């Protein structure tokens, strides 16, 4: 049985003061969760969030990581820096990074490799755009992204990765994949992992749904056998909403 994982992606939201308020409210609400709980916060909130969650069941993650140990990469943050600040997880290849900041399958692979090198647990995002789904290209797009991300990654390291399937057309648009669409595509992604690493690795890998999971649709999505949790956007910015989703994931 795969233990569900619910991760909140705060995106570019929450100052340090707002982080303190949200995390302080969240800790008691999710203390009895039956899933792993992660909050992926802006770089400036990582050390504070790690301090505020110490002794709780909430883990802290970052939203990106550099592909190099150090060097002339203005604006980037290295895996060593993230780990020292208190991050345990890191989101890699989010659709917004691909859309706005030129992320490619090659850079995703480089960042994933770097995260693993320093003991961070990657949350790898893959998913198709609306025109790709309507054009029947969902499986091709997801396979290409998964295969590219895991290029040169050993089976032992692959087992440390969480995949988040995020249909790009369902992020921030109010649209959501049906429970069946999410289950079917995540099942396909699992089959790609099986081709790369074998059935045991595929069966053990946790694959989240990352397309606008919220309090209204969490029960239906989590009832599906392939769905192992969620990467939560807007709903993770409110303690009550995020806690509801966390407590529904069993």
- Active-site option among 94, 96, 103, 132: 94
Backbone angles phi, psi at 137, to 5 degrees: -105, 10
pLDDT value of position 46:
98
Residues recorded for the chain: 250
CA distances from residue 32 to 22, 29, 56, 133, 202 in whole angstroms, order as listed: 18, 8, 10, 38, 28
**Cβ contact 97:66 at 8 Å:** no
203's CB contacts (< 8 A; 6+ apart) are: 2, 190
pLDDT in tens, the chain (250 residues): 899 999 999 999 999 999 999 999 999 999 999 999 999 999 999 999 999 999 999 999 999 999 999 999 999 999 999 999 999 999 999 999 999 999 999 999 999 999 999 999 999 999 999 899 989 999 999 999 999 999 999 999 999 999 999 999 887 777 778 999 999 999 999 999 999 999 999 999 999 999 888 999 999 999 999 999 999 999 999 999 999 999 999 8
pLDDT value of position 137:
96
- Active-site option among 96, 103, 128, 166: 166
List residues bridging with 40 in a β-sheet: 9, 61
CA distance 134 to 238: 33
CA distance 83 to 217: 33
3-class DSSP state of 116: helix
Label each residue of 64-75 as H, E or C: CCCCCCCCCCCC
Is the domain spanning 5-248 CATH 3.30.565.10? The answer is no
pLDDT value of position 30:
98
* pTM exceeds 0.75, yes or no: yes
CA distance 44 to 47: 7
Active site residue 159: no
pLDDT value of position 94:
97
List residues bridging with 39 in a β-sheet: 8, 60
120's CB contacts (< 8 A; 6+ apart) are: 62, 65, 79, 82, 83, 87, 88, 89, 90
Cα radius of gyration (the chain): 17
Structure tokens at 22: 């949200």
Active site residue 166: yes
Q: How far, in whole angstroms, is CA 182 from its chain's centroid?
A: 15
**Helix-helix angle 138-149:179-197, to 10 degrees:** 40
CA distance 246 to 203: 22
For 112-138, letters b (16+ CB in 10 Å) and e give: bbbbbebebbbbbbbbbbeebbeeeeb
Backbone angles phi, psi at 124, to 5 degrees: -90, 120
Backbone angles phi, psi at 230, to 5 degrees: -150, 150
């Amino acid at each position: 049985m795969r233990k569900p994982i619910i991760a909140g992606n705060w995106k570019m939201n929450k100052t340090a003061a707002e982080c303190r308020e949200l995390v302080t409210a969240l800790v008691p609400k999710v203390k009895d969760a039956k899933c792993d709980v992660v909050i992926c916060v802006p770089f400036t909130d990582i050390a504070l969030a790690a301090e505020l969650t110490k002794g709780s069941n909430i883990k802290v993650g970052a939203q990106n990581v550099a592909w190099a140990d150090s060097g002339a990469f203005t604006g980037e943050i290295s895996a060593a820096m993230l780990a020292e600040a208190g991050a345990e997880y890191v989101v890699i290849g989010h659709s917004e990074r691909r859309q706005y900041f030129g992320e490619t399958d090659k850079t995703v692979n480089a960042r994933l490799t770097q995260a693993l090198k320093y003991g961070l647990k990657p949350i790898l995002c893959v998913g198709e755009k609306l025109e790709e789904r309507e054009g029947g290209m969902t499986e091709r797009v997801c396979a290409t992204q998964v295969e590219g991300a895991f290029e040169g990654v050993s089976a032992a390291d692959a087992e440390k990765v969480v995949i988040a399937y995020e249909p790009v057309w369902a992020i921030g648009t109010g649209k959501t994949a049906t429970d069946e669409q999410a289950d079917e595509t995540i099942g396909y992604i699992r089959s790609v992992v099986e081709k790369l690493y074998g059935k045991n690795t595929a069966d053990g890998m946790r694959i989240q749904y990352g397309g606008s999971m919220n309090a209204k649709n969490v029960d239906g999505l989590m009832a599906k056998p392939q769905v192992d949790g969620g990467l939560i956007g807007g709903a993770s910015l409110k303690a009550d909403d995020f806690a509801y989703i966390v407590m529904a994931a069993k």
